[in-house]
Chains A and B, each alone.
Chain A
Amino acid sequence: EVQVVESGGGLVQPGGSLRLSCAGSGFTFSDYTMNWVRQAPGKGLEWLSYISGSSYTIYYADSVKGRFTISRDNAKDSLFLQMNSLRAEDTAVYYCARRGVVAATFYMDVWGKGTSVTVSS
């Protein structure tokens, strides 16, 4: 079964750091671009970042640029999101999502169940 599973969420104080992980299985992880998307409580979806299969191409949303770092370890079929200088507005469920393979179109076809991050003192 193709799936991705996030972990690493929790409660962190403002200004603190947290590292999220996402484990892929059922597919050749290194062949796929991976994404992080978040959803604040009661709010909509917000794309955060993507990393190509080789890690050559990386993009960030302006809201997290300079504070969050995306990375991957293809040998371990894993994706990461290092989150620094966390703010209350970073409180959200964080989803890992795989980019689909149809050329010339950007969509996310496999989503995890998410991991919850709460930034509060």
Chain B
Amino acid sequence: QSVLTQPPSASGTPGQRVTISCSGSSSNIGSNTVNWYQQLPGTAPKLLIYSNNQRPSGVPDRFSGSKSGTSASLAISGLQSEDEADYYCAAWDDSLDGVVFGGGTRLTVL
């Protein structure tokens, strides 16, 4: 069982907006920033969002992140077929003294 909770799957049609949730606790999301990683099929993870809502250079502004209390979410607008991937949330956990990941959400573009 992952420390952070994500839905196992999500889907949308091209052009739609989808959101992926990530739920944690006071020791992780509640007291630290949240990051999101995208893993395309057969590839290594890639940083998508850091510090709750910051996009690294090169990440389209269709991707956005937010955090409230002990939960966070990733929103993808104008969904494209190339967005089909696994998405993971992550945060530092003060009780475990380590990084914790969500179980991942597989996004399907219908």
Contacts and interface: CB of A to CB of B under 8 A. Distances in A.
The finding on whether chains A and B are genuine partners in a shared complex, rather than unrelated, reads yes
Interface of A: 35, 37, 44-47, 50, 59-62, 95, 97, 100, 102, 104-109, 111-114
Contacts of A59: 97-98
Contacts, number: 72
Residue of A44, A50, A107 contacting most chain B CB atoms (<10 Å): A107
Interface string B25-50: 00000001101010100011111001
Interface residues of B, number: 29
Given A44-B2, A44-B88, A47-B99, A109 B44 contact: no
29 contacts: A35-B99, A37-B45, A44-B2, A44-B86, A44-B103, A45-B37, A45-B39, A45-B88, A45-B90, A45-B104, A47-B98, A47-B101, A50-B98, A59-B97, A60-B98, A62-B96, A95-B44, A97-B45, A100-B47, A102-B50, A105-B35, A106-B92, A106-B99, A107-B33, A107-B50, A108-B35, A111-B45, A111-B46, A112-B44
B103 A113 contact: no
B34 to A, nearest CB: 9
B44 to A, nearest CB: 5
A44 B50 CA distance: 19
